[in-house]
Homo-oligomer: A and B are copies of this chain.
Amino acid sequence: MKLQFAMDTLKTESALELADKAAPYVDILELGTPLVKSEGLSVITAVKAAHPDKTVFADLKTMDAGELEADIAFAAGADLVTVLGAAGDSTIAGAVAAAHKHGKGVVVDLIGVSDKAERARQAVALGAVFVEMHAGLDEQAEDGYSLDTLLTAGAASGVPFSVAGGVGPDSVEAVQQAGAQVAVAGSAIYSAPDVAAAAATIRANIH
């Protein structure tokens, strides 16, 4: 299982600092949606230039203009981009067309989708390389939130999936046991007093 670090920050400089610290322990560097909206495509180019050996994941959360948004992000240096599962099939297909053109990949983010397992299968049929079983920051802050529903949906989907929704050192083993290809950790790394140590601990808990 790969480890993806979701860098939910707002400045390119901060993203580069976080990436430098965590890079030895993670496979995928994710630029969060607010970061892309804050800094524009230039943050993708900057992170890829600093870490050409890492997979750079631009969390575009595209809802429309799938081919256009994916195309400009791939051209800027992204290896993977997200399209929302809530988007129409033609938006996902458009982003996949751009991915094929660039030799890169589309991940479908299932945040906000009620039947995640069913939409996951549709997304992969449309050409997504994997889907993200994802509960957003707002959903994680709601009463009664649990990572378990994401793990259950992933296991039930029968397609390659990642899990994002508050994954940390204590939960990463459960993510792996559920069969995920990628565990996404954000706050557990970037909010830690020692970013490198936090990333290393999560990495050590993947077997």
- Contact A36–B37 (Cβ < 8 Å): yes
The verdict on A87 contacting B112 (CB below 8 Å), with A37-B37, A40-B40 known, is yes
- Contact A65–B33 (Cβ < 8 Å): yes
Size of the A side of the interface (Cβ < 8 Å), in residues, is 37
The verdict on A33 contacting B136 (CB below 8 Å), with A40-B38, A88-B112, A111-B63 known, is no
The verdict on A63 contacting B94 (CB below 8 Å), with A39-B40, A87-B112 known, is no
The answer to the question of A153 belonging to the interface, with a C-beta cut-off of 8 Å to chain B, is: no
How many copies of the polypeptide does the oligomer hold?
2
The answer to the question of A139 belonging to the interface, with a C-beta cut-off of 8 Å to chain B, is: yes
| Smallest beta-carbon distance A44→chain B, Å | 10
The verdict on A86 contacting B112 (CB below 8 Å), with A33-B69, A36-B37 known, is yes
- Contact B61–A64 (Cβ < 8 Å): yes
| Smallest beta-carbon distance A139→chain B, Å | 6
Given contacts A38-B41, A61-B61, A65-B137, 19 further A-B contacts (CB under 8 A): A33-B63, A34-B65, A34-B72, A37-B37, A38-B40, A61-B63, A63-B63, A63-B84, A63-B86, A63-B112, A63-B136, A65-B138, A84-B112, A86-B86, A86-B112, A87-B112, A90-B142, A91-B138, A94-B138
- 6 A-B pairs in the complex with CB atoms less than 8 angstroms apart: A33-B64, A34-B68, A36-B40, A61-B63, A64-B139, A88-B138
